Structure 1
Amino acid sequence: MKRDIQILMHTHWDREWYFTKDETKVLLRNHMQEVMEYLETNPDTIYILDGQSVMIDDYLELEPEAEDRLRKLITSGSLRVGPWYTQTDLLLVHGESIYRNLYYGIKRAREFGNPMLVGYAPDTFGHASQMPQIYRQFGIDSTFFWRGFSELKAEKSDFIWKGIDGSEIVGVNLATGYQGAKYLENKEDELKNRMKKIMSVLDKYSASNARLIMNGHDQMPIQKNIKEVMTKIQSLYPDDTVRISDFETYVNALDKSELEVVSGELVDSKHARIHRTIGSTRMDIKLLNSEIENKLYNVLEPLAVIGEQAGVLYPHSVIEKVAKILFGTHAHDSIGGCNSDKVNQDIKQRLLNALEMVDTQIELHLRLLTMGDVDNDYTIAVVNALPEKRENQIVTFDMLTRSKSFILYDEEGNTVPYSVISQNQEDAGLIDRQVAARLQDIKVWRTYITVPVKSIEGLSIEYYTYEEVESNDASPEEKQESTIENNFGRVIIKDNQLHYKDLNNNRVYENILSIETGGDDGDSYDYSPPINDWILNSTEAAEINSSVIKTDHYQKMNIKLTMTVPETTQDRENKKANKEVAFTGTLMLYPDDSKLYVNLTHTNHTKDNRYRAVIKTGIQSEQVKVDGYLSSQNKPMYNEQALNIWKEDKWVEKPVSVETAQSFITLKNEESQCTVYTDGLKEYEVLDDRIHLTLFRTFSHLGKRNLVNRPGRPSGIEIETPDNQMLNETFTFRFAIDFKQTDQESKRAKEYLTPLIGYQQKEFNRFNINPRENVTTTHEHLSLELNELTVSAVKLTEEGDLFLRLFNPQETDVTVVLPENSYLATPMEEKISTTNSLTLTPQQIGNLIINR
């Protein structure tokens, strides 16, 4: 068979790793100068700029005068950019971040020419099962990748990848890696030996006569003598063709009707490492990223939609800026945390900056919304950020008042009940510098309250007012008790264990929550158990102290779980528990909510360890239901097939049964169900009837060699990273445990991550702002009957239309009726056609534009 040898020239551009993004920006300027000079001299050449449009911005930041020159090369097709904005991780970040990364990547590439519509993700640590549909929606019909493939999926490296909804694209595993033909030799003997190795692999795995030769590597400069090398390759293979090519040409050479069909996630670690436990590396960074994503997608964007109805300008530029900061931290190394300490410090600081921006914009919007045309200056806004009517909710927010007590009123003047969570006195001069500048001594009370909300329309605001009154202490009474309950269940502490009694069927779930700690001999890529591990569980090794607050609107248990653990690896090997550690926090129950809300805080004082929350469900099951990107799916509890063969088959990494979820994990059988809803905690493992939710892990090096689960060379480089021990780092972990039987976990997870928002217009503020004359109160709303569909995004397009993204996590079709002037849309937020209803098949995603 005559082979078609296609050489793809590219560079793989890690913006940061054990080097910083600022170092690579300087190198990129030099790199782009060489690439452009070569392409201008050789206009028949094609060069791939790693599938990420951010390289345009990084280069032009340092050499803006080259914009026209760059545009000519992209327009001509010599230089290929997009579709991503940055090379993102495809398992750990928010599903909306995947959509927005492609949106901004394609948008930026279009400003210079035609984007490369190929799902190029060369070095990502695994690929989610929803990616075929997401790619398809952006007009992308193929993906090229390195990690995640094995012969358990297909015999050939060219295949049809079927997504969880049934969408199909061409999948191409880069069998010799994206770096397989880096720095091709010019000496004939060396080139002959090199090509023999490359071609033997490609001849085995390629499904057509096309052979894809990936000529590039990390930050590799363009190989200027490539044509000379190609001439020599042609002489080695005179019966074959040799040419410079691109991804699209390679796909066109495939007979798609003959390709094998592959389903599910691409996370096998036979030929390349996947690092399945990287989901718990540098949890400070991961939790911070999740906090920003949730605030951006679940709070700021829908709040800004409501604000626009009241006359507050939609903050497009702020949202884009925050999103692009996020994307800059979403590369597999960056969000993975597998970097030098210096780089992780930079990543964390950028995320802190993004958090400040999103928090400030949210607070600014809420302030403006409470400064509209209302008669009473004492205004409170309660916001529903979902486009659905919600009932029997609670909203929690802080009040700042001069008096210790106050009365809330709704818009009709009716008294609104509430319960105090906490109350402290503060110096107003520390809040508002104008108070201190005037030498005023003003004390104020900051009171956190919970307010029941019987009903609130979708995408709407309800306004309250308040009156300060003189009264007795409003703080709730704290009692030394060990039980709380609501309409659904009762939490009991007994024998230093937490138990839950389901009041609907009187079943008792014993020891529902404990903390497990064990050693970690791994590195920034992988947890690895020590050869001599000593695993301790708080069930046997801890003491739980508790106090209880009971009010009409919540019951709260304050807990402190104290246990003594090994401080160092040596202590663990010697079975010496010598360091007292504590997990403090709260367990909350609300009258009309079946979830038990868990909030735990911990400051780390030990090295080389892993901590996990263990949720004992009492439920045995072979499958686990979780959510992925805009989907729900059932995964096997144990990765049996791969684990049975990995040693014999010489996989490069053990395919451990540690998995990733986005926001919920469910175990169920015919009689019972337990769902854990998580806020940023995504790595889990199910053992018997217990869900192990990884809280954090600590370790000493960026890379290590010969780990128990990962034999051979180190991943990354072997440098010490003392920051990864996370000493004195304080973590806050939030999750909820729910024993209610439901098949709507996706909707409940969205509601859990999108609580009602409450805000009081305060007398004292850090910054002063003027009221906006055009800002008014608004009673507009959008309450859609979404049935089982789940909301992913609520925002405005750049043209000012309302954009919604919905998905169907169910196993049957779901239809919803839409308002007038509704349109089916693309994820690029372009209208397709008018519609008065939307039907989504199982796991299908729908994009809508509604003119309001």
Structure 2
Amino acid sequence: MKRDIQILMHTHWDREWYFTKDETKVLLRNHMQEVMEYLEKNPETIYILDGQSVMIDDYLELEPEAEERLRTLISKGNLRVGPWYTQTDLLLVHGESIFRNLYYGIKRAREFGEPMLVGYAPDTFGHASQMPQIYKQFGIGSTFFWRGFSELKAEKSDFMWKGIDDSEVVGVNLATGYQGAKYLESDPEELKGRMNKIMTVLDKYSASNARLIMNGHDQMPIQKNIQDVMEKIRKMYPEDSVSISDFESYIEALDQESLEVVTGELTDSKHARIHRTIGSTRMDIKLLNTEIENKLYNVLEPLAVVGEKAGIPYPHSVVEKIAKILFGTHAHDSIGGCNSDKVNQDIKQRLLNALEMVDTQIELNLRLLTMGDQENDSTIAVVNALPEKRYNQIVEFDMLTRSKHFELVDAEGNIVPYAIISQHQEDAGLIDRQVAARLQDIKVYRTYITVPVESIEGLSIQYYTYKEVNEPVSQSDQSNDQSIENAFGQLFIKGNQIHYKDKQTHKVYENVLSIENSGDAGDSYDYSPPLNDWVLNSSDHAEITSTTTKTAQYEALNVELKMNVPENSADRENKEATKEIRFAGTFKCYPGDSKLYAELTHINQTSDNRYRVVLKTDIESDHVKVDGYLSTQDKPAYNDQPLAIWEEDNWVEKPVSVETAQSFVTLKDDQYQATIYTDGLKEYEVLEDCIHLTLFRTFSHLGKRNLVNRPGRPSGIEIDTPDNQLPEESFTFHFAVDFKQTNEESKIAKNYLTPLIGYQQKEFNRFNINERDGVTKTDDTCSLDLGQLVVSAVKLTEEGELFIRLFNPQLDEAAVALPEESYLANPMEEKLEPATTLILASQQIGNVIIKR
């Protein structure tokens, strides 16, 4: 068979790794100058710019005068850019971040020419099962990747990849890697030896006569002698054709109808490492990233939609700036945390900057909303950030008052009950510098409260007022009691263990929540158990003390858990628990809510350790239900098939049964169900009847060789990274536990991560702002009858129209009626056709634009 040898010229551009993004920017300027010069002299050549449009911005930042020259090469098709903005991880970040990364990547590429609509993700540590649908919605019909493939998926490396909703794209595993033909040799004999190795692999795995030769590598400069090399290849294989090509041409050579069909995630580690436990590396960075994502997508954007109706301009540029900072930290190495300490410090600082921006914009919008009532300077605004009516909610926010006591009053003049969570006194001069400048001595009370909200319309504001009073209006009972309860269950301490009684089923879950401590001999890519591990669990080794707070609005069990663990790897080897550690926890239950809410705080003082929270469910199941990107899926609890063959089949990494979820993990059987909802804790493992959720891990090196679960060479490079021990790092973890039988976990998770937003118009503020002309109180609402459909995004398009992204996590079709002048849309926020109803099949994603 005559082979069609297609050489694809490219560079793989890690913006940061063991080098910083600022180093690569300087190198990129030099690289782009060489590439553009070569393409101008060789106009028949195609060069791939790694599928990420941020390279346009990074280059033009240092050489803006080259913009027209760059535009010419892109518009002619010599230089291919997009569809991503940055080469993102495809398992760890928020599903909405995947959509926005493609949105901004395609949008930026369109400003220069036609985007490369190919799902190019060469080095990502695995691929989510929802990616085929996401690609298809952007008009992308194929994906090219390196990591995640094995013959358990298909015999050939060219296949049809069917997503969880049955969407299909062509999947092409780069069988020799994205770097397989890097720096092709000039010497004929050396080149022949190299090409024979490449062709042997491609002849085995390619499904057509086309052979894709990936001529590029990490920061590799363009190979200027490629034409001479191609002539030598032609002489080696005189029966074959040899050309410089692109991804689209390779796809055209495939007979798609004859390709094997592959389903599910692409996370096998036979040919390339996946690093399944990278989800718990540098949890300080990962938790910070999740906090920003949740605030951007669940708070700021819908809040800004509500604010726009009140006359507050929508902050498009602020949202884009925050998003692009996020995307700059979402590359597989960056969000993976597998970087040098210097780079991780830079990533963390950028995220802290983004957090400041999102927090400030949220507070600014809320301040302006409360200032809309110009006749009242004691306004409280409560905002529902979801486009559906909600019932029996609670809202928690802080009050700043001169008096210790105050009353809340609703719009009808009724006194509103509330409960105090915490209260302390502050110096107003430390809040508002004008107070200090005037030498005023003013003390104020900061009170964190919880308020019940019986009902609230979608995308709406409920206004309250407050007045300061002399007598307390909120009562609480604090004691050394060791239990809290509501109509659904009772949480109690007994024998230095935490237990839960389900009042609906009368079942008692003994030792329901505990902390596990084990060793970690791994590196920044992978957790690895020590050869001589010693696993400790708080249920056997901890002392727990507790107090309770009981109010009409909530009950809280405050615990301190103390246990001794090995301080370092040497202590663990010697079975010496020399270090006392502490976890402070608050568990809350609310009337009418079956969930048990948990907050744990901890300051790390140990090294080479891993900590996990363990939920004992008394349920043993072969499958676990989790959420992925805008979807739910049942996954095996244990990777039986790959684990049975990985050593004999020479996989490069053990396919451990540690997996990634987005926001919930469920175990169930015929009688019972247990779900843990998480806010940023995404790495889990099911062992027998327990769900283990990783809190954090600490270790010493960027890369190590010959790990227990990863034989052979080190991943990355072997450099010391003492910051990865997270010394004195302060953590706060949030999750919720529920034993209620339900199939609406996705909906519950979205509500858990999108609470009502409350804000008091405060007398003292860090910054002064003027009242904005045109900002008024608004009674505008948008309440859709979503049923079991779940919201992913609520925002305004750049044309100022309401854009909503929904998905159906259920097994059956679902629909929602749309208001007048609604349109089906694509994720580029372009109208497709008018619609009165959005109908979504199981696991399907829908986009709508609603005229306001």
TM-score (norm 1): 1.00
Aligned with 1:24: secondary structure?
Answer: helix
Could you say which residue in structure 2 is the equivalent of 1:631? 631
Q: What displacement does 1:377 show?
A: 1.3
CA distance in 2, matches of 1:783, 1:674: 31
- Structure 1 residues 131-156: Cα deviation after superposition (integer angstroms, max 9, x where no partner): 00000000000000000000000000
Structure 1 residue runs of 4 or more that deviate by more than 6 Å after TM superposition:
none
CA distance in 2, matches of 1:831, 1:51: 26
Q: What displacement does 1:473 show?
A: 9.0
The answer to whether structure 1 residue 479 and structure 2 residue 474 are counterparts is: no
- Structure 1 residues 581-621: Cα deviation after superposition (integer angstroms, max 9, x where no partner): 00002000000111000000000000101000000011111
Q: What displacement does 1:479 show?
A: 0.6
- Structure 1 residues 469-488: Cα deviation after superposition (integer angstroms, max 9, x where no partner): 11259673421010100111
Paired residues in the alignment total 852
- Structure 1 residues 245-273: Cα deviation after superposition (integer angstroms, max 9, x where no partner): 00000000000111000000000000000
Could you say which residue in structure 2 is the equivalent of 1:103? 103
Counterparts in 2 of 1:354 and 1:475: CA distance versus 1, 3 Å: farther
Aligned with 1:270: secondary structure?
Answer: coil
Could you say which residue in structure 1 is the equivalent of 2:220? 220
Aligned with 1:320: secondary structure?
Answer: helix
CA distance in 2, matches of 1:475, 1:525: 50
Whether contact under 8 Å (1:278, 1:527) holds in the other structure is yes
Q: What displacement does 1:689 show?
A: 0.6
Equivalent positions of 1:407-806 (< 5 A) are 407-472=407-472, 476-806=476-806
- Structure 1 residues 351-380: Cα deviation after superposition (integer angstroms, max 9, x where no partner): 000000000000000000000135321000
Whether contact under 8 Å (1:422, 1:475) holds in the other structure is no
Equivalent positions of 1:14-25 (< 5 A) are 14-25=14-25
Whether contact under 8 Å (1:422, 1:476) holds in the other structure is no
Could you say which residue in structure 1 is the equivalent of 2:211? 211
- Structure 1 residues 678-732: Cα deviation after superposition (integer angstroms, max 9, x where no partner): 0000000000110000000000000000000000000000000000000100111
CA distance in 2, matches of 1:386, 1:91: 25
**Aligned residue identity for 2:408:** L
Aligned with 2:511: secondary structure?
Answer: coil
CA distance in 1, matches of 2:377, 2:10: 61
Unaligned residue ranges in structure 2 (runs of 5+):
none
Whether contact under 8 Å (2:407, 2:473) holds in the other structure is no
- Structure 1 residues 721-780: Cα deviation after superposition (integer angstroms, max 9, x where no partner): 000000100111000000011100000000000000000000000000001120000011
Whether contact under 8 Å (1:514, 1:538) holds in the other structure is yes
CA distance in 2, matches of 1:34, 1:440: 64
The answer to whether structure 1 residue 331 and structure 2 residue 311 are counterparts is: no
Whether contact under 8 Å (2:49, 2:80) holds in the other structure is yes
Q: What displacement does 1:93 show?
A: 0.1
Aligned with 2:231: secondary structure?
Answer: helix
Whether contact under 8 Å (1:421, 1:475) holds in the other structure is no
Whether contact under 8 Å (1:404, 1:474) holds in the other structure is no
Whether contact under 8 Å (1:612, 1:694) holds in the other structure is yes
**Aligned residue identity for 2:328:** G
Whether contact under 8 Å (2:52, 2:81) holds in the other structure is yes
Whether contact under 8 Å (1:517, 1:537) holds in the other structure is yes
Unaligned residue ranges in structure 1 (runs of 5+):
none
Whether contact under 8 Å (1:421, 1:476) holds in the other structure is no
**Aligned residue identity for 1:668:** K
Aligned with 2:602: secondary structure?
Answer: strand
Whether contact under 8 Å (2:127, 2:267) holds in the other structure is yes
Whether contact under 8 Å (2:406, 2:472) holds in the other structure is no
Equivalent positions of 1:28-177 (< 5 A) are 28-177=28-177
CA distance in 2, matches of 1:618, 1:790: 29
**Aligned residue identity for 1:333:** D
Q: What displacement does 1:505 show?
A: 1.9
The answer to whether structure 1 residue 403 and structure 2 residue 433 are counterparts is: no
CA distance in 2, matches of 1:444, 1:570: 50
**Aligned residue identity for 2:192:** K
Q: What displacement does 1:509 show?
A: 1.0
Percent identical residues: 77
CA distance in 1, matches of 2:615, 2:306: 38
Whether contact under 8 Å (1:646, 1:655) holds in the other structure is yes
CA distance in 2, matches of 1:823, 1:301: 20
Aligned with 1:345: secondary structure?
Answer: helix
Q: Which region of structure 1 is more displaced relative to structure 2, 218-227 or 474-483?
A: 474-483
Aligned with 1:512: secondary structure?
Answer: strand
Whether contact under 8 Å (1:560, 1:582) holds in the other structure is yes
Aligned with 2:382: secondary structure?
Answer: strand
CA distance in 1, matches of 2:767, 2:545: 41
Could you say which residue in structure 1 is the equivalent of 2:813? 813
The answer to whether structure 1 residue 181 and structure 2 residue 181 are counterparts is: yes
Could you say which residue in structure 2 is the equivalent of 1:364? 364
Aligned with 1:593: secondary structure?
Answer: coil
**Aligned residue identity for 2:776:** T
Could you say which residue in structure 1 is the equivalent of 2:388? 388
Q: What displacement does 1:510 show?
A: 1.1
Whether contact under 8 Å (2:822, 2:836) holds in the other structure is yes
Whether contact under 8 Å (2:496, 2:542) holds in the other structure is yes
CA distance in 2, matches of 1:590, 1:743: 21
CA distance in 2, matches of 1:373, 1:706: 66
**Aligned residue identity for 1:690:** C
Whether contact under 8 Å (2:475, 2:551) holds in the other structure is no
Whether contact under 8 Å (1:404, 1:473) holds in the other structure is no
Aligned with 1:177: secondary structure?
Answer: coil
Whether contact under 8 Å (1:397, 1:758) holds in the other structure is yes
Whether contact under 8 Å (2:533, 2:572) holds in the other structure is yes
Q: What displacement does 1:492 show?
A: 0.9
Aligned with 2:342: secondary structure?
Answer: helix
CA distance in 1, matches of 2:457, 2:570: 58
Whether contact under 8 Å (2:418, 2:474) holds in the other structure is no
CA distance in 2, matches of 1:374, 1:539: 56
**Aligned residue identity for 1:602:** H
- Structure 1 residues 271-314: Cα deviation after superposition (integer angstroms, max 9, x where no partner): 00000000000000000000000000000000000000000000
**Aligned residue identity for 1:808:** N
Q: What displacement does 1:209 show?
A: 0.2
Could you say which residue in structure 1 is the equivalent of 2:340? 340
Q: What displacement does 1:491 show?
A: 0.4
Aligned with 1:510: secondary structure?
Answer: strand
Whether contact under 8 Å (2:409, 2:465) holds in the other structure is yes
CA distance in 2, matches of 1:472, 1:804: 43
Superposition RMSD on alpha carbons, in Å? 0.7
- Structure 1 residues 295-347: Cα deviation after superposition (integer angstroms, max 9, x where no partner): 00000000000000000000000000000000000000000000000000000
CA distance in 2, matches of 1:480, 1:159: 62
CA distance in 2, matches of 1:701, 1:483: 43
CA distance in 1, matches of 2:591, 2:755: 16
CA distance in 1, matches of 2:504, 2:535: 36
Aligned with 1:633: secondary structure?
Answer: strand
Whether contact under 8 Å (2:373, 2:379) holds in the other structure is no
CA distance in 2, matches of 1:505, 1:692: 24
CA distance in 1, matches of 2:210, 2:741: 52
Aligned with 1:453: secondary structure?
Answer: strand
Counterparts in 2 of 1:473 and 1:415: CA distance versus 1, 3 Å: closer
